[in-house]
Structure 1
């Protein structure tokens, strides 16, 4: 018996309309300018994109008129011929606003289209969530005003949050802050317009990627301001996970029967390598770190307090740092064996303590990573350090214009 053949109607392709083609070619050309290490000429753009010279000329004129690029001073590539006019990103026009919550402070940052930090401000962190978010809103408004004074327009705002985020707005769980199901995006929206909330570990890795590219394309950036987080970058792209919740390294178990963690599990890395846990190892650390400031008790960032104790020869703190480096190495070894990166960046406040942590991390990586004997993993302090998350947050906002310049040109 012959089975009937069910024929599937061919999918109807959407025609490429002239406007869509224009937008595609404009984005393609603009990304070449974004990625160029030096001002790039119109001829070089034509070669890189495969577009005709007249098309490149039209696109460049549109980008110049929209204020996204500027012309560099003419230069000659040889002894003869017409001067070469390079094109680069404009230092005015669109900008991104980043906000960050730290143990000891709040921060706000504005980054322009070139990736240059144009504004960076700090304030003490109020302990209550509503008060902290209200203060961030004030800082965001002040940052926008500072940007406008420099002929910059904030096109997007991103908050770096210390915990898993749902729907780009709700901080599901930030145990060190005492936050659970806090809709940070909704709280900031009336003052700042649309706000994207994202995990601080991933944003810190994004900031470090911009700071280190193109030298780094596959790395883990680990930081421990609150919960220990790991931002993972593979082939130059941030690994986000199915729901954007990747990177909770602090809740990887490093011992099967360790102490109970705030998350409810036992033996978590957080207990051994968290900054507050390192600081609490010494009896000399009775002064609060990261709590609310008072007139008589100054607030010290945990990393600064730890550094002060180590500098004074506090043996308990030195032993805690040794344990932290070993525990970090154990957890990172498992991660590196799975995702195969060549570099570990000690970011955030860990960058300030790197000289005491690197040896332990390297020792465990060399022992436990399968390929370490012929392809050792590099471990070093992250360039941006504690400012990486807020800079990464600002960059994530401006990156939307870098990827889709048509959105800016439509409003210009």
Structure 2
């Protein structure tokens, strides 16, 4: 009989077990925010002696801090409070979108510590020029992070398009095709950091400008959905953390991501979630992707502004003006938003039938417009989703939180790599 099963990994030796348990303890403290050795032992199933040994190693390596005393209400001595350190390794997220570049640095707790945004029209600009600009902003953010005693573990680049193996296969709204974005950003960032090292250092700055940074990349809607999952604080109907939802990011285009049981559904090639290019009308207006009648031609930011009589390239100031006009009762503004809502509702009802998410979360441009978008979307969800779970009072259609942005999600992806294997990063720090 032929054996079609994948080979098993070799059994774990003592070093591998300790590596795993270090991550287990660090992640337990991270998830709780603050806790004690006894509580970590109870949650992890490790003995108290093992937890104490692992905690001491994590304290010595700078991953944890301890302070004060906490009383559990049970017999025994009070325990010291453990927290993830606010200094040391950090994650860096870089979001490049059509009309802005944002860089975010988070510490290992996921807290947003440094954020820089530059509003600029990236459409039609050479990819190398855009990535050079992103590298310059990132170098500035790293200098600020260094002054806070934060050291970058890596950089994750979020882009609005199809991204795989470090290459942007297609980003229609940027006009990018087959762009080796990881390589270009890593090269530009190395140069920008060397330039920064030649300038007089700011007080408190201790960054190692010579150490090259690993750059990874992915889709910006995926990163925004992860930020919502990790930091959004959304709950399901039973009050539990929301772990299965469809997330839409309204920008110039429309990005989508599906989270199932706390994990991204990436698809066979990493391209899942391109809901903005679901065809609404095959004879509709031509989309930058080459097809006709895509959803974003009816409900994307440019389409919304154009329908309201505003300049379609007005960006976020245009969205703010659209909201202002809608609040003032401007009929054209309200009609534009409601029209987009009807088309969104049509597509989202199909997605709800196909994937059965627990909720649909709308972010980006859609977040400030929810009071006008929600009724037409909900009407179609209620009428078209066969499960009957999407009534107007179900609360399943949500606006995103202010924490759900791609730059922070990207930075947190890097930070979570450290949490998953602290021993590797402890060794790197001592190299």
What are the Cα deviations for residues 114-146 of structure 1, in whole angstroms up to 9, with x where unaligned? 111101111132531332211110111111111
Q: How far 1:26 sits from its partner (Å)? A: 1.6
CA distance in 1, matches of 2:287, 2:130: 25
Task: Please name the residue that 1:262 is paired with.
Answer: 288
2:111 pairs, out of 97, 110, 116, with: 116
Q: Does the residue aligned with 2:69 lie in a helix, a strand or coil? A: coil
What are the Cα deviations for residues 229-273 of structure 1, in whole angstroms up to 9, with x where unaligned? 112111111222222111100111233543332223233211110
CA distance in 2, matches of 1:12, 1:114: 34
- Between stretches 390-399 and 371-380, larger displacement belongs to 371-380
Q: Does the residue aligned with 1:341 lie in a helix, a strand or coil? A: coil
1:174 pairs, out of 171, 176, 184, with: 171
**2:253 matched to 1:237?**
no
CA distance in 2, matches of 1:288, 1:264: 20
The answer (yes or no) to whether the contact 1:103–1:301 under 8 Å persists in 2 is no
The answer (yes or no) to whether the contact 2:20–2:421 under 8 Å persists in 1 is no
1:20 pairs, out of 16, 30, 33, with: 16
Number of paired residues? 395
Task: Please name the residue that 2:92 is paired with.
Answer: 97
What are the Cα deviations for residues 258-300 of structure 1, in whole angstroms up to 9, with x where unaligned? 33322232332111101101111234x248414xxxxxxxxx5
Task: Please name the residue that 1:324 is paired with.
Answer: 340
Task: Please name the residue that 1:294 is paired with.
Answer: none
TM-score (norm 2): 0.85
What are the Cα deviations for residues 129-184 of structure 1, in whole angstroms up to 9, with x where unaligned? 332211110111111111111111110111110101121x2212222222222222
The answer (yes or no) to whether the contact 2:98–2:121 under 8 Å persists in 1 is no
Q: How far 1:306 sits from its partner (Å)? A: 2.4
TM-score (norm 1): 0.89
2:357 pairs, out of 335, 341, 355, with: 341
List runs of 5+ in structure 2 lacking aligned partners: 191-212, 234-239
Q: Does the residue aligned with 2:156 lie in a helix, a strand or coil? A: strand
List runs of 5+ in structure 1 lacking aligned partners: 291-299
CA distance in 2, matches of 1:203, 1:96: 13
Q: How far 1:355 sits from its partner (Å)? A: 1.6
Q: Does the residue aligned with 2:228 lie in a helix, a strand or coil? A: helix
Q: 1:178 to 1:6 in 2, by over 3 A?
A: closer
CA distance in 1, matches of 2:85, 2:411: 17
Q: How far 1:312 sits from its partner (Å)? A: 5.2
Q: 1:183 to 1:12 in 2, by over 3 A?
A: closer
Q: Does the residue aligned with 1:222 lie in a helix, a strand or coil? A: strand
Task: Please name the residue that 2:30 is paired with.
Answer: 34
Q: RMSD over aligned Cα, in angstroms?
A: 2.5
Q: How far 1:201 sits from its partner (Å)? A: 0.4
The answer (yes or no) to whether the contact 1:125–1:132 under 8 Å persists in 2 is no
